[in-house]
Structure 1
């Protein structure tokens, strides 16, 4: 299935507005992209990830700013997130805001999968692009999340740590650490913000229960329209791909990431013609074929989440109609 990855008109247009503040007219910027943007006047238009990436790269070039995405994220405004921005503002706590952010993030930019892991001490928000993208896309998103939260709670709260998949120079990383107020680790396996669980209970002065209800209903309607071309199985597939050890996965874990009950997530997968078990089996098969050459069979069995070697051997024969050892020998000869 070919995914059409897009951003909202508001999120894309906010880049043009930022460039205009720095002396580049929107008309000139769009002309330099050499694409037809005549439909930007349409309120419902979505802009492709490719066009969004090109605009961010153009911004770096025009402003000679290697941290363009970071500076763009610092400048984020509620309106840049569209309806979601005002919905986040109307929440009562950061925990409530996080739930709607995870639920409706695709309305702003349907280009990644957002998920959350937490325990009694820390919360970790992961943001995993659905395809390889440039550093400015990642920097803007991760920075904007912190910037908008600081504006709402009116405090320069700092994460405990931030992971980035991108490579940065020592000077660039130092600038980020100064602003975020925490350690920034680059060239990591995934993008993540880690902060104390206590932050979840930070209260929002801008809370508005009536507005929250109205905007939640509107966001649900918008998400339904968008989800018709971006089913749950695509998002779950990306989450599975980003999980290092498949022994740690469960339907319950991913249901939390989608802010759904396990039963509801299973029903939605079934409506799309698949199940969690089937998707896990598919990821195991794909990973087994990729890793078997340079991985011992016992280690591979553990990485794929099998309780014992015999279960792994049985699944492998079902996938490839031969034993793992026979398959490995044939690959070694290639």
Structure 2
């Protein structure tokens, strides 16, 4: 397989950034959209439209076993029903396509190959059980940190490890530097994370041959010229890893806006798995698009209960600092 020339594509992305800002919404087609998904989509759309930015819809369908047939088409229809639009996406195309991650595999392979050539990654033969049982495995804020078991293996040792499980492909991990990444989130404020102590060498391609989210999202945002990323604050902990990858590929990191997740009446985060406030359920309750927009805006404290309005009307009434002033979720304060 002939791999694309990343330098040519990075130059094209720089030309796109010179034309102006760009935002995106990047859902996974693993189930129906619920109110929390819709609120994040609305916030991403509002931020982009306030900034006069290109707004891109990208479908993150890399994890094929979890993709539900028909989900992509339905989420596109649901977003349009809500009154959101986008300038580039799977159906209309655009200068930075394709817009389905499943059609961008050669790009991720080219990126991994570049890292392999520069010895920034290494094959890892450890299973999850191996890592969990490793006596030297430290614990960080988000769980067990990979202890670097396979980082310094010799070629002979790697061959021996592969021979033990010939049917299993190795994962590929990034060699993480011992340093702290600092960034200023537009909603959550100043953030920092020490990659070595809090993250460890993380996976870029999994043992099931699926490219990891961290690699795909960085390459996509870089190549699409994305300047602003609005997403749920459950992804705040991933940001330092992604900034490190932007730096390795010598691409500018976007500005990050990590907005609070929408929660149900019990305080639990909404989930596709349990059908929390699925859009179809809201429709069945007699809510039309203006009622749903009002419900989402009310959950942010922006309008009075029961108010009905369209997405463009909300955009017109929105203060310039409204999204930044949402602040972090209480548990992150």
Q: TM-score with structure 2 length normalisation?
A: 0.23
Q: Identify the structure with bigger relative contact order (alpha carbons < 8 Å, sequence gap 6+).
A: 2
